[in-house]
Amino acid sequence: MIHNIVSISGGKDSTAMALLAIERETENLRFVFADTGHEHRLTYDYVDYLSGELERRCGVGIERVRADFSRQIERKRHTVATKWRADGVPEAQVVKALEHLKPTGNPFLDLCLFKGRFPSTRARFCSQELKHVPIETQVIEPLLETPGLQALVSWQGVRADESRNRRDLPEFDVEMGTWEPEPQGHLILRPIIDWTVDQVFEMHRRH
């Protein structure tokens, strides 16, 4: 048995990839959207719309996962309450920090509270913490324990002409296992890595 996990971002490329998976009549499809809590309202509206369309076409909608940093924030609260005081941080500052250092339920804001900063071009931790990790821990890792599982294929809707970092990514990649002579283990597929933006929009128009 092979399970196929298609990551949905709410953008044009992941939508084209989802449609490609349907065109290929891919079996055991799961569409997953990692909700960062910091997307534009139109993105959420579009994911809702797309989920309904995918469910209508192939019987599978988009499931959502969200990161949870409540434990990390609790550990940081303990550090503030103990180490800060031991280090002589003024009590008013400790109290003010503890007043604000509480989970908000918004993954992006909670990540910033835990890290003690906002992400930047020099500290890019959003995608890993808010998208890759929750999909890995909440979807992929449980599926890898499925009896009779032959392979789990993670579909990634990235394209080479988007950035230098993506230019040399292979179409077929391996987290653990092998593609040959048959798929085994946890594998990565980037089926539109060589597509142009025109091909992406052509897929949209076709559907």
Residue 51: predicted pLDDT: 96
Residue 195: predicted pLDDT: 97
- Phi, then psi, of 33 in degrees rounded to 5: -115, 120
Residue 46: predicted pLDDT: 96
Cβ 27 vs Cβ 4: under 8 Å: yes
Q: Is 63 helix (H, G, I), strand (E, B) or coil?
A: strand
- Please give the average pLDDT of every successive group of 10 residues along the chain, which has 207 residues: 95 97 94 96 96 93 96 95 94 93 95 88 82 95 92 96 89 95 95 97 96
Beta strands in the chain (DSSP E): 2-8, 29-34, 62-65, 151-155, 172-178, 184-189
Residue 119: predicted pLDDT: 84
Residue 155: predicted pLDDT: 97
Residue 164: predicted pLDDT: 85
Residue 38: predicted pLDDT: 93
